Structure 1
Amino acid sequence: MVSSEPLTGFAIAAVREDGRWRCSVLEDGLEELDAAIDELRKLRSTGAVFGMLAVDDEFFILLRPSPQGVATVLSDAAAALDYDIAADVLDLLRAEPPDDEDDEIWPAGDLALLADLGLPEAEMQVIVDEVDLYPDEQLRMVAQRCGFADEFDNALERISS
């Protein structure tokens, strides 16, 4: 599938509890999908918990664990042709990767994943369709729409320092 070069980007957990958001870095979030899911499950909260992964300036992944499983969004299903972590998302979704010749960007997963947090499916589709933006910019739009842009920015600052 892909080379064994380390991925660049970031993995951030967003947690909403008692009406307040906090963001933290997922230490192993980019290494393996299962590691990111495990880290998110350890963040016990009575409110929302989800992960935001930006991978190699190419695509993003949203993960939202629940007792029923893990809901997810992969911003570009074609990334599964080049990235193991994206292929793992498609496996989790039981979806087939696109053909090698398919150069169209299309998302996979539940675009209504964050509808209860203020980001309806139609708006998520708009964010995914912003192909001129880098994944971190798309995820900032997600954070802004859900109401935790400042916390997201602070987490990014911690990563870059």
Structure 2
Amino acid sequence: MQSVQSRDDTRDTALPGYAVAAIREEGRWRCARLDAATLVDLDAAITELRALRSTGAVVGLLDVDDEFFVLVRPSPGGVSLLVSDAVAALDYDIAADVLDLLRVDLPAEGEDGLWPEGDLGILSDLGLPADELEVLVGELELYPDEQLAAIARRCGFGDALAEIVDAR
């Protein structure tokens, strides 16, 4: 198992991409921009999402460096996570932190391929079954922002996400 500490720390690096919270209350979706720190610090993302204190669903959508995405869904009993590319953990602290919370070993150095790690059923109750999410994650010709847009459309908040992302 590779140590997370052996890599260069990316937590102090501003990364391209976006971080958005999708919040469902009283049957309606709205989206809000999250702090840029949530792209590099999983704890910051979880803390900021929990602070929203919604009575409905809250999902964090993180497009990290236009390389991969992370879905974060806090619940009273913990947090559900999905990283679209487990191999990203070799280069990005936030992806390594996801694997750490999931208790999954880091991929071997030089590992090829792309595979998701985490809860593929993270959005099942919101209209996106695990098998469909797995297909979306596996669409290699799509960039992470396109994958997240497709996820948002399928769950019913595509327009709200586009409004936030297009305004950045």
Distance 1:112 1:158 in 2: 30
Partner residue, 1:109? 118
How big is the shift at 1:58? 0.7
- Residue 32 (structure 2) pairs with residue 24 (structure 1): yes
Partner residue, 1:34? 43
Q: Map 1:61-80 to 2 at 5 A.
A: 61-80=70-89
Distance 2:15 2:104 in 1: 23
Residue by residue, what CA displacement relative to the aligned partner does 1:26-46 show, whole Å, maximum 9, x if unpaired?
013213110010000011111
Distance 2:163 2:136 in 1: 21
Q: Secondary structure at the match of 2:132?
A: helix
Larger mean CA deviation between 29-38 and 118-127 belongs to 29-38
- Asked if the contact 2:16/2:64 (under 8 Å) is kept, the reply is yes
Distance 2:116 2:155 in 1: 20
Distance 2:92 2:39 in 1: 11
Q: Secondary structure at the match of 1:133?
A: coil
How big is the shift at 1:59? 0.3
Partner residue, 1:2? 8
RMSD: 1.1
How big is the shift at 1:3? 5.6
Residue by residue, what CA displacement relative to the aligned partner does 1:101-160 show, whole Å, maximum 9, x if unpaired?
32111110000000000000000001100111111000001000001110000010222x
Distance 2:128 2:8 in 1: 32
Q: Secondary structure at the match of 1:111?
A: coil
**For structure 1, which runs of at least 5 residues remain unmatched after alignment?**
none
- Residue 132 (structure 2) pairs with residue 123 (structure 1): yes
Distance 1:54 1:2 in 2: 20
Q: Secondary structure at the match of 2:38?
A: coil
Count of residues in correspondence between the two structures: 159
TM-score, length-scaled by structure 2: 0.91
TM-score, length-scaled by structure 1: 0.95
The percentage of aligned residue pairs carrying the same residue is 58
